[in-house]
Amino acid sequence: MARAATSLVTGSTAAAREGAIAALLAAPFDAASASVSSLAADGPASSASRLPAPAIPFDAVILEGLGVAATPLETGPGLQVMRIAPGCLCCDGNLVLRVTLNRLLRQRPRRLFIGLASSEHLDQLRSWLAAPPYDQLLALEPTVHA
């Protein structure tokens, strides 16, 4: 099963984060040649491998906090954008992020971007995303600093 190429995007403003994600989305994407970090070897069949294949390939974005008035990111064909309340996503916002992430991953996006207002606990968040069950579903890319 292909894992979603996943990038964490940090930046001092929502406009900077959303602009950086929009630029990444505009770049050509080839799933076959996407860089994938070696989080975990593909192991035995898991619940992730039993998920149905997506009907139409799409990208997903999870944004922390309120957006900007003229956001370049709108849900539409090929893109699903979800916003979650601001707060530390590895601490008090963990449950909200986990629920949102699980809902998106059931639909099997090919790419996932998570926009973070703060990079304070970035290492803990990356560790959490690299652990089961997400290690079978996500291929963490290098962090993007907008």
Distance separating alpha carbons of residues 82 and 31, to the nearest angstrom = 22
pLDDT value for 52: 52
Question: Is pLDDT of 113 > 60?
Answer: yes
Distance separating alpha carbons of residues 67 and 65, to the nearest angstrom = 7
Residue 137 DSSP one-character state:
T
**What mean pLDDT comes out for the span 11-28?**
89
Q: What is the pLDDT of residues 46-95, one digit of tens each?
A: 444 445 555 578 899 998 877 777 788 887 888 999 988 887 776 766 78
Domain borders along the chain are: 4-27+48-145
* CB contact at 8 A, 59 and 82: no
Residues whose CB is less than 8 angstroms from the CB of residue 118 and which lie 6 or more positions away in sequence, other chains included: 10, 88
**What mean pLDDT comes out for the span 92-107?**
86
Question: Would you state the structure tokens that stand for residue 33, as one six-digit string?
Answer: 């040649």
- CATH architecture for the domain at 4-27+48-145: 3-Layer(aba) Sandwich (3.40)
Residues whose CB is less than 8 angstroms from the CB of residue 23 and which lie 6 or more positions away in sequence, other chains included: none
Question: Is pLDDT of 9 > 90?
Answer: yes
